[in-house]
Amino acid sequence: MQFDSYIYALFLPLVFAGYWILRNKLLWQNLFLLAASYTFYGWWDWRFLGLILITSATTFISGLVIKKDHSRRSKMWLALNLIINLGILATFKYFNFFKDSFTDILRFFGANPDWPTLNILLPVGISFYTLQAISYSFDVYNGKAQPTRNVVAFFVYIAFFPQLVAGPIERARNLLPQFLKKKNFDYYNAVIGMRQILWGLVKKLVIADNLAGYVDSLLYHPSVMSASSIFMAAILFAFQIYADFSGYSDIAIGSARLFNIKLLPNFYYPFFSRNMKELWQRWHISLMTWLREYIYFPLGGSRRGKWRTCLNIMIVFAVSGLWHGADWTFVTWGTVNGLMLLPFVFLKKKTYSDHAQLRDIPKCLLTFLIFALIFLSFRSPNIAHLQECLITLAHGSYLTMPMGISAIYCYILPFVIVEWFGRKQEFPIMTLKMPTIARWAIYWGLLFLIAFYGAKADIQYIYFQF
């Protein structure tokens, strides 16, 4: 079920009530949360439950036998668990991609292979919970996390419904211990959670879903559009995907807060970044820190010289692109983003304040425009479509008024202003130090926006396809 559906609006209060009715009964709370999480996930397709059960069971069992002594037996169990989990992910997400790519190579040399195609659905959230399971195995192997014998708590750790489908991608050392100890209801934390859910719904329904229509119309046939319109599409899509994905993350983190559970942050005002390096420290934080910890550091990080650091960065961003989708457009997107970070390996490190200031706005604008143009690759359904966009940008007209400019004034400017003044908080309405009547005026105002200006079409979250 989607976070912005009426079903979830009924589901969440019921789970919240049931969970706290069972307070001081940790096992029953976890069992109830596990049942709720499987109900939430099975709402899309109950057959997907079999895969998450396999991932949970194999990772739990391997965690019991893996030791931090790095013995041959531990390495064998770690490898076995990786083969199972990555094998499932590769089969469902990447089989056809690699098969088609290898077929194209063979046809280039004159061969004409005829291999089967797997016509299977991509299970929702498989990329996210697979990384979460892998991180547990590595952390146990490296002694960063203690293996648990509490099978119910571990299965909840893998399937916890707020972050199951699209993150944040959790670490066992952060989330798992929260299911192993009794929790007391925290009224203030629940209030913050409700505010975060409300803000996430505004971002998704009012900003992202309304921008989706503009972006779709601008990029439907890029070859017949002006260059200014494609440029506008890049700007609008950058805000669409940011509002869509960070809106999902806000709802996920806010929902977890209702159960007094703290999830990792996923976004921190990335469009107020002063360079591309800072932006990637603020965008999809849980994935980027995962890639840094489990790929970049094992490859040597920045400890083996500048050129090796460059290679490691390119590997990480190529993997990031492929993780996002089984298409060369995503690999291109990841690779180009990696290239944009290479100059920072050789430049002298510059220290910035935590929050952008007015004097930083030109740098923020330049960084955003670079990021938005690169994201055309992310949005393009195939390489041919991306080529059309790039040709139009290179040879089209910038003198015509771009289509979709009204979206800037209706959605983006108000959104940017609110985020700018709230940028020193986790989310703009996290703390509202004002009279009660003023706070409730804000709540009702945001609900009014959702009811009357939210897009009416049922638009799926972009990251559900990954």
Please write the tens of the pLDDT for every residue from 110-155.
Answer: 666 665 655 666 678 888 899 999 999 999 988 888 889 999 999 9
Residue 424 lies in a domain: yes
Q: Residue range 452-460: average pLDDT?
A: 77
Q: Are residues 428 and 455 in the same domain?
A: yes
Q: Are residues 46 and 180 in the same domain?
A: yes
The last residue of a domain, from among 127, 153, 185: 185
The last residue of a domain, from among 150, 185, 220: 185
What burial letters (b/e) apply to 399-429, b meaning 16+ CB within 10 Å?
eeebbbeebbebbbeebeeebbebbeeebbb
Q: Are residues 94 and 45 in the same domain?
A: yes
Residue 411 lies in a domain: yes
Of 280-289, 306-315, 326-335, 396-405, the least confident: 396-405
Q: Flag whether pLDDT at 241 surpasses 90.
A: yes
Residue 211 lies in a domain: yes
pLDDT band at 98 (very low <50, low <70, confident <90, very high): low
**pLDDT tens digits, 328-378:** 898 999 999 999 999 998 887 777 678 889 999 999 999 999 999 999 999
Residues 6+ apart with CB under 8 A from 28: 22
The DSSP string of 166-186 is: T-----HHHHGGGGSS-----
Predicted local distance difference test score (pLDDT) of residue 52: 92
Q: Are residues 39 and 66 in the same domain?
A: yes
Residues 6+ apart with CB under 8 A from 200: 3, 246, 247, 248, 249, 250, 251, 252, 254
Active site (annotated) includes residue 324: yes
The whole-angstrom separation of Cα 167 and Cα 238 is 19
Q: Are residues 65 and 162 in the same domain?
A: yes
Q: Are residues 151 and 249 in the same domain?
A: no
Contact (CB, 8 A) for 388 and 222: yes
Of 17-31, 105-119, 399-413, the least confident: 105-119
Predicted local distance difference test score (pLDDT) of residue 375: 93
Residue 336 lies in a domain: no
Rounded to two decimals, the pTM is 0.92
Domain that holds residue 415: 188-274+352-465
The last residue of a domain, from among 154, 185, 216: 185
Q: Are residues 214 and 361 in the same domain?
A: yes
Long-range contacts of 310-314 (CB under 8 A, 24+ apart): 310/342, 310/345, 313/338, 313/341, 313/342, 313/345, 314/338, 314/339, 314/342
Q: Are residues 37 and 95 in the same domain?
A: yes
State how many domains the chain has. Answer: 2
Q: Is 22 exposed, middle or buried (0-12, 13-18, 19+ CB in 10 A)?
A: middle
Q: Are residues 249 and 395 in the same domain?
A: yes
Catalytic residue among 324, 355, 385, 395: 324
The whole-angstrom separation of Cα 9 and Cα 13 is 7
Q: Residue range 151-165: average pLDDT?
A: 94
Q: Are residues 252 and 386 in the same domain?
A: yes
Retrieve residue 361's tokens.
């706005």
